[in-house]
Chains A and B, each alone.
Chain A
């Protein structure tokens, strides 16, 4: 059974940093692209970042470019999101999601974690 479990969320002051983790099980982690998607409470989904299988390529939304970095450790079956220079508008539930294939070109997000809440507030 595929499972994704996020951790690392919490309350942080504007300008601060946080690192999210997503532990994966039930599939060969290195073979699949992974992504972070966020959702502001009561609002829509926003794609944040993705990383191809084995970490060969990474992509970030313009809204987080230069501040957030996605990475993966295939030996630990874990996905990360390092978030720096956090802003109030980064407040959201952050989901870890698995793609259907090695690349995010095609397919979709077929498994999602339960989400972890990040609150940026002074």
Chain B
């Protein structure tokens, strides 16, 4: 199972919106509405930000939103803040009942 494809880096200024893409295949992202997104700060464990494409766990800021079209899922961060600087990973359920992560995106706040 190949990793989902994410851009290596995305940057934006405080207050701006950025979008991170996550491209999979007909066997994972396109097949199921089971895409999740994780934020990881250096030296820390990942944190669930979005599940089932567009649902936010309690406690996660509504500045984070998710969507999907075909085999590409997206995470949008609006009103970018310094604390949003981190690595972000998508993940999808697959036709083999397994999980696959994305390659990861480093978000830089300029």
**Residues on A facing B (Cβ under 8 Å):** 35, 37, 43-47, 50, 57, 59, 61-62, 95, 100, 104-110, 112-115
Contacts and interface: CB of A to CB of B under 8 A. Distances in A.
19 contacts: A35-B99, A45-B101, A46-B3, A46-B101, A47-B91, A47-B98, A47-B100, A57-B97, A59-B97, A62-B1, A100-B51, A104-B93, A105-B34, A105-B93, A105-B97, A108-B38, A109-B36, A110-B48, A112-B46
Nearest to B105: A44
A3 B110 CA distance: 35
B36 A44 contact: no
Contacts of A110: 48, 51, 57
B103 interface: yes
Given A61-B1, A106-B34, A108-B50, 13 more contacts: A37-B101, A44-B102, A45-B46, A46-B3, A47-B100, A50-B98, A57-B97, A104-B99, A107-B51, A108-B48, A109-B48, A110-B57, A115-B45
Contacts of B102: 44
B104 interface: yes
B45 A95 contact: yes
B84 interface: no
A23 to B, nearest CB: 15
A46 B3 CA distance: 8
Contacts of A45: 38, 40, 46, 89, 91, 101, 104
Contacts of B89: 44-45
A108 B57 CA distance: 10
B3 A44 contact: yes
Nearest to B40: A45
A47 B48 CA distance: 15
A108 B100 contact: no
**Counting chain A CB atoms within 10 Å of each CB, which of B1, B40, B99 scores highest?**
B99
